[in-house]
Amino acid sequence: MMELSCQQLLAMGKDVPTPFLLQVSTDRGAESVRVSKVLRNIPGERITAIATWKESEVILKLLLQGARNKRLLFNELRAADLLRQRQIPTPDILHHSNTTDGRGTVLFIDKLKDAQNLEQLFQRAHSDLEQESILRAAMQVLARCHQAGIWQDGFDMAQLLKARERIYVLSSSKLQTQNEPLPMPQRIRLIAEFLAHLPVICDEKLPQLCDYYQGTSFAKDLLDPEQLKQEVRNKRRRRIELMVKGSFRKQEKVYQIEQSNYLLVYQAGFPRKILEEFQANPDALLAKGKMMKSGESATAVELELLGKRYVLKRYNKKSFGDGVARIFRRSSASNCWRMARAFRALGITTPEPILFMEKRLLWSLRGDSYLLTEKTEAEHLVKQLEASPQLRQNSDPLVRGFKELFTIMQQYQLSHGVLKATNFLFRNDKLITIDLDAARYHPSSSKAAKALQNDWSEFMKNWQNTSLANKFRVIQDALGFSGSAGKGEKTEP
């Protein structure tokens, strides 16, 4: 098994292979610690991983900031002590030491048996009641922290663990404290940052979430749900803007490999074997797939990789001039990746983006680009409507899905760009939006309104001479779109 030093880990950035051995100083001399899985990696700062220490699985936190490590260690130990003193459960720090090369500080933390973070539990919840129970627990813990004068900027549900029927707060060197409860303006800001990580649909629960928080916090002032809703939207809009425009290096659970001849960005946990195939020859993978689309602008195939189905898309150069223009602008694969992550963060269902790759010349001149997404097992909406009398007769869930889509795009200044009916799927009463190649975030509200109006006009062309046109007029009236909603007739597409 490979042994890695802190210098090597720093040089690798986010692309740290596992398993590996780390040499740690102990009273008995150097000891090899086996690191089996990286949970979180902030290049140049710290790595959090699952490791084996004294024949038991633990959480290992490796600090990699050189001269700052001593201060960070003090803050980590202080944070854990403060949480315990104020009777807020947190995993125990079992031991701390240094790496043998002197460049890293290591904390060994109790790995709670069968623990899951609340973010994972929320995403896997099978019902609204289950999600509500998770949110109630999160708001109650948040209230207890704020009442105890404890807070942390950027706090989210991934930093709360459920184990042994208790909720644990993960301690961090960024945790801050004061000797009195937090004032209401600060609480509102921190709660909004916390809730901005949730899908937009959760905003409907804000009055209830305020009650859960208020019942535990004992704050003199009451939370105002409307004020909180506006603050949540502001924080969420800023988060979406960073997803769409920010550096890939700063995005959580996203890894990047950049060479002079390509850029590869991928989700954490994707199998290394397939990544290596992609790096070597993406066109060879494309040739192995089952053809779905072969057009002038793009080629798409269905692939099965290690038992899972994916869609691989290559964006083609339509002409010499088009190839020259692509050299300097963001690739379609990169745009689609960013927009898919933004849509999913807002609660818009779209296939998960797994990786994208840009071929490059001299680091920055772009060539062909490729996008790999999960495969959604469903026909496009036109075929579904043709094949399902039941869907045509009971179209309320479909109309509701489109209303939610357009409402979210309006609130967060997004547009899709190509709203053909074939760019939608409908499965388990849920609308799925695909092909985000032309999707955009618009910093200007006036440009966003114009782009979304164009989306609406194109969308309504799909339903001319169908009874759905009349049903979609409800969305037009509710959201203030202009233009005819189409002629309602009895025939269907």
Per-residue pLDDT of the chain (493 residues; tens, 9 = 90+): 899 999 999 998 877 889 999 999 988 889 999 999 999 888 899 999 999 999 999 999 999 999 999 999 999 999 999 999 999 999 999 999 999 999 999 999 999 999 999 999 999 999 999 999 999 999 999 999 999 999 998 899 999 999 989 999 998 888 999 999 999 999 999 999 999 999 999 999 999 999 999 988 776 778 899 999 999 999 999 999 999 987 776 677 788 888 899 999 999 888 888 898 999 999 999 999 999 988 888 999 999 999 999 999 999 876 555 555 666 678 999 999 999 999 999 999 999 999 999 998 887 778 889 999 999 999 999 999 999 888 888 999 999 999 999 999 999 999 999 999 999 999 989 999 999 999 999 999 999 999 999 999 999 999 998 889 999 999 999 999 986 544 444 334 4
Residue 491 resides in a domain? no
The CATH number covering residue 93 comes to: 3.30.200.20
Q: Kindly state whether residues 120 and 157 are assigned to the same domain.
A: yes
Residue 210 resides in a domain? yes
Residue 489 resides in a domain? no
Q: Kindly state whether residues 391 and 361 are assigned to the same domain.
A: no
pLDDT at 319: 57
Structure tokens at 128: 């609204």
The CATH number covering residue 261 comes to: 3.30.200
> Burial letters for 23-54: b for 16+ Cβ neighbours within 10 Å, e otherwise?
bbeeeeeebebbbeebeebebeebbbbbbebe
Residue 325 resides in a domain? yes
Residue 484 resides in a domain? no
Measure the CA angle with vertex 233, ends 230 and 234; round to 5°: 90
Residue 486 resides in a domain? no
Best CA proximity match to 294, nearest among 310, 314, 278, 311: 314
Q: Kindly state whether residues 189 and 150 are assigned to the same domain.
A: yes
Sole residue written with tokens 């339903």: 463
- Residue ending a domain, among 76, 93, 110, is 110
**Cα 151 to Cα 153: distance, rounded to the nearest angstrom:** 7
- Residue ending a domain, among 349, 374, 399, is 374
Structure tokens at 330: 């963001």
Contacts (Cβ under 8 Å, ≥6 apart) of 192: 228, 231, 232, 234, 235
Residue 490 resides in a domain? no
Residue 157 resides in a domain? yes
Q: Kindly state whether residues 82 and 11 are assigned to the same domain.
A: yes
Number of structural domains the chain divides into:
4
Q: Kindly state whether residues 361 and 414 are assigned to the same domain.
A: no
Q: What are phi and psi of 407, to 5 degrees?
A: -65, -45
Q: Where are the beta strands (DSSP E) in 127-253?
A: 150-151, 160-163, 166-169, 176-177
Element (H, E) at 360: strand 353-361
Q: Kindly state whether residues 367 and 387 are assigned to the same domain.
A: no
Q: Kindly state whether residues 278 and 209 are assigned to the same domain.
A: no
Q: Kindly state whether residues 182 and 276 are assigned to the same domain.
A: no
Q: Kindly state whether residues 191 and 293 are assigned to the same domain.
A: no
**pTM across the whole model:** 0.89
- Residue ending a domain, among 352, 374, 396, is 374
Q: Kindly state whether residues 43 and 72 are assigned to the same domain.
A: yes
Q: Kindly state whether residues 104 and 201 are assigned to the same domain.
A: no
9 touches 47 (CB < 8 A): yes
Q: Kindly state whether residues 238 and 255 are assigned to the same domain.
A: no
328 touches 336 (CB < 8 A): no
Give the domain range for residue 49.
6-110
